[in-house]
């Protein structure tokens, strides 16, 4: 993991949702064998990390119990880790994170904004890396909480408050990755404003993970003349446009469903930057 956090081009985190109801790939990897194959394929296509989740966090999603979440993800995490893949576990539960770390995961991707003290204590004890993402409330009702004065200032202030909690729990700052939480308790305009002002997040002096892949604000941006949003399966080109811009801005990693085009986008941006540097 230390190698992945070192300076370099934007990393690509591939998404494996072992769920029946995730907004983009729900049901695609419900079979664990298919999920493992997909993860290995993502690595072959250039993914640096594979993020495995067993509970949908789409707006309005209801929770599954911890036992079911563990049943979904653990065989996938274990097989990918045994194959040498850097695995992230996407969970908000300490019991799931503990089992996944035991199975070989190296990163805990927590979309709850550090809500569970037991999860934080576990990460501190195990020396894992940790993603602190901005969020407000659970997926089932987060849309009701999408009100801000200045969305950039408010998100940074709330992340700063949660970062203090993370540090107090014993997780070293150098093991923390920041995620602005695109799409989580954010309206259309909030997401674009945050993306346009990512430089403000340098205040944390930590790597920045950003996930825009196929999200609803892209569908709304590409809406037809009648206002109908672009369907999820037709948002990939827009996703890669944002990937290109994020790589140009130098974010640490992008979280995507389609790995190869994201890797290609990062390689093109890297070549462009190298050419510009050599000329100057």
The residues assigned a catalytic role are 215, 255
**Cα–chain center distance at 263:** 16
CA distance 148 to 42: 37
- Long-range CB contacts for residues 231-234, cutoff 8 Å, separation at least 24: 232/23, 232/24, 233/24
Contacting residues for 45 by C-beta, under 8 A, at least 6 apart: 14, 259, 260, 263
Determine whether 223 is exposed, middle or buried from the number of CB atoms within 10 Å of its CB (0-12, 13-18, 19+).
Answer: exposed
Contacting residues for 80 by C-beta, under 8 A, at least 6 apart: 36, 39, 40, 50, 52, 87, 104
CA distance 274 to 55: 40
Which pair of structure tokens corresponds to residue 218?
């892209």
**Cα–chain center distance at 132:** 10
CA distance 180 to 112: 12
Which letter, b or e, does each residue of 228-257 get, where b requires 16 or more Cβ atoms within 10 Å of its Cβ?
ebbebeebbebbbebbbbbbbeebbbbbbb
Which pair of structure tokens corresponds to residue 47?
């993914």
DSSP 236: H
């Amino acid at each position: 993991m230390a190698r992945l956090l070192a300076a370099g081009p934007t990393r690509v985190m591939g998404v494996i949702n072992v769920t029946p109801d995730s907004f983009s790939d729900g049901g695609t990897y419900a079979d664990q064998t298919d999920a493992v194959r997909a993860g290995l394929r993502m690595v072959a296509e250039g993914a640096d990390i594979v993020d495995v989740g067993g509970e949908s966090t789409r707006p309005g999603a209801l929770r599954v119990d911890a036992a079911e979440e563990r049943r979904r993800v653990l065989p996938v995490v274990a097989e990918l880790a045994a194959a040498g893949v850097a695995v992230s576990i996407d969970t908000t539960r300490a019991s799931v994170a503990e089992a996944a770390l035991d199975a070989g995961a190296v990163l805990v991707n927590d979309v709850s904004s550090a809500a569970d003290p037991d999860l934080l204590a576990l990460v501190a004890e195990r020396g894992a890396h940790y993603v602190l993402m901005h969020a407000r409330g659970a997926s089932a009702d987060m849309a009701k909480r999408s009100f801000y004065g200045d969305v950039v200032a408010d998100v940074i202030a709330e992340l700063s408050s949660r970062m203090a909690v993370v540090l107090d729990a014993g997780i070293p700052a150098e093991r923390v990755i920041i995620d602005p939480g695109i799409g989580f308790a954010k309206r259309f305009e909030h997401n674009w404003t945050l993306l346009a002002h990512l430089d403000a997040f340098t205040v944390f002096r930590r790597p920045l993970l950003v996930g825009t892949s196929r999200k609803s604000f892209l569908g709304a941006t590409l809406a037809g003349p009648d206002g109908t949003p672009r369907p999820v399966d037709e948002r990939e080109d827009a996703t890669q446009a944002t990937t290109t811009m994020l790589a140009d801005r130098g974010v640490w990693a992008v979280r995507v469903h389609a790995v190869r085009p994201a890797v290609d986008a990062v390689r093109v941006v890297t070549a462009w930057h190298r050419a510009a540097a050599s000329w100057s």
